Amino acid sequence: MTAGGFGPSSKPGTGYNYDTLAADLDALLKALDLTDVSLVGHSMGIGEITRYIGTYGTERLKKAVPIGTIGPYLVKTPDNPEGRIRHECQLGGRNWCFAHWHRRLRRCVDQDFHTDIPRNDIPTMISHGDDDSILPADATSRRQTKMIKNVKFVELKGGSHGLT
């Protein structure tokens, strides 16, 4: 499945957020009456899967495979000191301002998944590169691993965000 805004799918001008993407995934799973589904996603796709689980649960799911995960929350705030991105500028050591980001990315990176992640009660394998400068493992996968009960964490030495 290609999420809205990516690949050949439509490029919505509004409503592009993880709530909408999760609702689209739910509609697809229900329309096709799919169960025992294994969801595999990369980067922003993990936000969609995480929000789906947080909102709709795991009844239709069998497994999850987050690759280069985005959660639990990237923005550094007083109540999230482990975050890495200051609201104004900073991503992967680069000086990128959110104001200059494409609106899709800006809306999706600034999401808090703290309440969604613990709802994941299915077998999950998180795979992440230890050299990911876009979504550093310390701010993402290593933290998320501690929040899921049935998880296996595979960290790829030298792996970048694209795991190459």
Contacts of 90 (CB under 8 A, 6+ apart): 84, 96
Please indicate whether residue 43 is annotated as part of the active site: yes
User: Catalytic residue among 19, 43, 112, 130, which?
Assistant: 43
Q: Cβ of 36: how many Cβ atoms within 10 Å?
A: 8
The CATH number of 35-156 is: 3.40.50.1820
Please indicate whether residue 132 is annotated as part of the active site: yes
The torsion angle over the Cα atoms of residues 7, 9, 11 and 16, rounded to 10 degrees, is -100
pLDDT, one tens digit for every residue, the chain (164 residues): 656 666 666 666 666 788 988 999 999 999 999 999 999 999 888 999 999 999 999 999 999 999 999 889 888 888 888 887 655 444 554 444 444 444 555 556 678 999 999 999 999 999 999 998 888 899 899 999 999 999 999 999 999 988 76
Residues 90, 66: Cα–Cα separation, whole Å: 23
SS3 26: helix
Domain boundaries in the chain? 35-156
Please indicate whether residue 128 is annotated as part of the active site: no
